[in-house]
């Protein structure tokens, strides 16, 4: 059959037979400008009238609304209006969520991605979103470390997708290296309300997999609930598979019951030691947070934090009052003015009985310095404690892969096992100097694996993908205090249908391949090429149908991507010289 056969005639036959650089950590108490403050509010009720009343109050106070999402309102208001909002029964002023980026051996062979790529899988047809703080430099790497085209959307109030950090871009590079055929969405935000709006967008765009390499500190009671976890719950309910970094804070975390043998109201961490210490460098952003085991929004016990500098002087204190209507949390952030050892004390202002305390003391950038007195259990960030996400811990880069000592782990406060799996921390970097590691890199490795599994099992929902990850994971040597999680591995290719034949790298389609519409093409390559991988020969364009004419039977055979197996059983492989009609969109 000549290649230049009448395309219009064939087309008629086919048609007749086939029917997110601003402040990453905004605080309500810190002015964005000299006269304005950014606040996040929650309307007092769930009705449209409640939201309208909240919006009217903001307008009356001279404020301007930036974002609204599911009863949440983010607004800029005159600084003197914050006290009015805090006293108003129409709204509840929300504490700002504090999140931090969770920051090399080639990891593709460790997780089996090299074998799967050689067999034809690339994550093609899967939509994967990287939700992060910023994607600085992403446009310079398109067609190199990133796909030629990506979907980009910032939900920050200022619309800045770069936002002064390349953290999200590096996570996206990891995913592209593991699953180079996946469609990538780059989405950033800076507040909890903006994250809520971003999740609605990802649901509307039918995103399959989300990679989240940020960690909130004490944004809930540690049982998978809280403001951020409520937002993630919407995404999980919509069928998205979330790969979430567990956190890098196992050695920067302490947990235990309040103890005061000398009666001075200061907690004793070990023996009579009332100070827990951490080394910081000048310019580091120090974050200290304390949480205790009382109901969220109803803490009756009152604890305070005190931070001391290298010279022993008090640097900052957090002495909010808890009187049965607040969250059981105290936190502070301050820039280190000098290099040295900083210490933190916990003071009991009031408690009917000693509470179980959790202390986190971390720095940005994270230099890996541990607390002088630490323990790793229950050191998860949020939303890593969410029951519906796949929480990812980090592996060491040593020859014997074990759980990294810094990798945060459970149990959650309600006793659940976390992380669910462990993943490597290297890959997707342009050079060794541009290191990207920790659980920040582990989460996108899992996201790439999920994209591959989704392509191989197109009908699998998020729960099925999570089950596939768990059943294919392999054991690692145990370490003292480890979580017992297993290592991510794509596993064997058996039972996944026809794979690419040998010498498939030489295969090609002869003829003109348009951007869309019908194309008459001839397959040139080794016999037995699986039609489900035909997109590899069209420059990864979306193929919506492949048809070939069976001259002996005078019938058309068809392959429709995503259709059930019984639809595609007549056209599974093609041999050298086969003439195809391909529909592109």
pLDDT digits 0-9 by tens, 330-352: 999 999 999 999 999 999 999 99
* 527: CB partners within 8 A, 6+ apart: 501, 573, 575, 576
pLDDT, tens digit (0-9, with 9 covering 90-100), for 208-241:
999 999 999 999 999 999 999 999 999 999 999 9
Q: What pTM was computed for the model? A: 0.86
pLDDT of residue 217: 96
pLDDT of residue 367: 87
d(CA 169, CA 147): 12
pLDDT of residue 2: 39
pLDDT of residue 95: 86
Q: Are 451 and 422 in contact (CB under 8 A)?
A: no
- Please work out, in degrees rounded to the nearest 5, the angle formed at the alpha carbon of residue 58 by the alpha carbons of 53 and 64: 130
Q: Partners of 108 in the beta sheet? A: none
CB-based burial label for 264 (10 Å; 0-12, 13-18, 19+): exposed
pLDDT of residue 86: 92
pLDDT of residue 554: 86
Which helix (H) or strand (E) segment holds residue 10: the answer is helix 7-17
CA distances 399 to 104, 105, 396, Å, are 12, 10, 8
Q: Are 363 and 352 in contact (CB under 8 A)?
A: no
Q: Give the start-end residues of each E strand in 339-432.
A: 340-350, 356-364, 390-394, 421-423
pLDDT of residue 519: 95
Q: Which string of DSSP letters, residue by residue, matches 475-499?
A: -----TT---PEEP-----TTS---
pLDDT of residue 34: 56
Burial 326-365 (b: 16+ CB within 10 A, else e): bbbbbbbbbebeeeeebbbbbbbeebeeebebbbbbbbbe
Q: Partners of 348 in the beta sheet? A: 303
pLDDT of residue 199: 98
d(CA 465, CA 208): 10
- Please work out, in degrees rounded to the nearest 5, the angle formed at the alpha carbon of residue 495 by the alpha carbons of 585 and 441: 70
Which domains are delineated in the chain? 36-96 (3.30.70.80), 101-249+380-487 (3.40.50.200), 262-364 (2.60.120.380), 500-584 (no CATH)
SS3 550: strand
Compute mean pLDDT per 10 residues along the chain, 585 residues long, and list them.
Answer: 37 31 34 74 92 95 95 94 94 86 67 94 97 96 95 97 95 96 97 98 98 96 97 97 97 97 97 97 96 96 98 97 96 97 98 96 91 96 97 86 94 97 69 62 96 94 96 93 94 93 95 94 97 94 93 90 86 96 95
pLDDT of residue 103: 54
d(CA 329, CA 255): 14
* 24: CB partners within 8 A, 6+ apart: 99, 133, 134, 163, 164, 165, 190
d(CA 1, CA 519): 15
SS3 456: helix
Q: Are 335 and 252 in contact (CB under 8 A)?
A: no
pLDDT of residue 430: 35
Nearest to 376 by CA among 229, 484, 224: 484
């Amino acid at each position: 059959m000549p290649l230049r056969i009448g395309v219009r005639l064939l087309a008629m036959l086919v048609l007749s037979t086939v029917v997110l650089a601003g402040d990453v950590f905004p605080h309500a108490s810190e002015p964005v400008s000299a006269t304005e403050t950014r606040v996040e509010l929650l309307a007092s009720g769930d009705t449209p009238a409640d939201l309208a009343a909240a919006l009217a109050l903001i307008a009356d106070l001279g404020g301007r609304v930036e974002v609204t999402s599911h009863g949440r309102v983010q607004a800029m208001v005159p600084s003197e209006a914050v006290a009015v909002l805090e006293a108003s029964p129409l709204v509840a002023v929300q504490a700002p969520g504090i999140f931090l980026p969770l920051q090399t051996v080639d990891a593709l062979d460790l997780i089996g991605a090299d074998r799967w790529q050689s067999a034809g899988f690339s994550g093609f047809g899967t939509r994967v979103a990287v939700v992060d703080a910023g994607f600085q430099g992403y446009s310079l790497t398109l067609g190199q470390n990133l796909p030629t085209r990506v979907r980009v959307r910032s939900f920050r109030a200022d619309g800045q997708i770069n936002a002064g950090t390349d953290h999200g871009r590096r996570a996206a590079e990891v995913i592209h290296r593991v699953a180079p055929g996946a469609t990538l969405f780059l989405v950033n935000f800076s507040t909890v309300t903006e994250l809520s709006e971003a999740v609605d967008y990802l649901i509307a765009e039918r995103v399959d997999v989300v990679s989240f390499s940020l960690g909130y500190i004490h944004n809930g009671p540690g049982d998978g609930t809280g403001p951020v976890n409520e937002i993630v719950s919407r995404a999980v309910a919509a069928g998205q598979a979330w790969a979430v970094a567990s956190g890098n804070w196992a050695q920067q975390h302490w947990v235990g019951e309040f103890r005061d043998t000398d009666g001075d109201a200061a907690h004793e961490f070990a023996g009579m030691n009332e100070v827990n210490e951490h080394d910081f460098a000048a310019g580091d952003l120090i974050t200290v947070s304390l949480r205790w085991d009382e109901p969220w929004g109803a803490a009756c016990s009152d604890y305070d934090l005190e931070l001391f500098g290298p010279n022993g002087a008090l640097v900052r204190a957090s002495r909010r009052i808890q009187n049965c209507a607040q969250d059981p949390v105290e936190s502070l952030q301050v820039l280190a003015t000098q290099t040295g050892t900083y210490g933190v004390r916990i003071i009991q202002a009031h408690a009917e009985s000693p509470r179980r305390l959790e202390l986190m003391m971390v720095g940005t950038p994270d230099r890996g310095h541990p607390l002088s007195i630490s323990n790793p259990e229950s050191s998860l960030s949020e939303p890593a404690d969410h029951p519906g996400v796949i929480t990812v811990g980090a592996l060491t880069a040593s020859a014997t892969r074990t759980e990294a000592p810094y990798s945060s782990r459970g149990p959650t406060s309600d006793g659940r096992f976390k992380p669910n799996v462990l993943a490597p921390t290297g890959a997707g970097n342009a050079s060794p100097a541009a290191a990207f590691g920790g659980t920040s890199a582990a989460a996108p490795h899992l996201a790439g694996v999920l994209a591959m599994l989704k392509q191989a099992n197109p009908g699998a929902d998020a729960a099925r993908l999570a089950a596939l990850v768990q059943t294919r994971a392999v054991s690692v040597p145990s370490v003292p205090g480890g979580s017992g999680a297993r290592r991510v591995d794509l596993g064997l290719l058996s039972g996944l249908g026809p794979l690419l034949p040998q010498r498939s790298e030489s295969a090609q389609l002869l003829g003109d391949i348009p951007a869309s519409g019908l194309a008459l093409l001839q397959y040139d390559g080794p016999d037995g090429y699986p039609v489900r991988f035909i997109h590899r020969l069209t420059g990864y364009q979306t193929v919506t149908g492949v048809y070939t004419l069976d001259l002996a039977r005078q019938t058309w055979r068809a392959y429709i991507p995503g259709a059930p197996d019984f639809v595609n059983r007549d056209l599974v492989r093609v041999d050298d010289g086969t003439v195809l009609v391909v529909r592109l969109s």
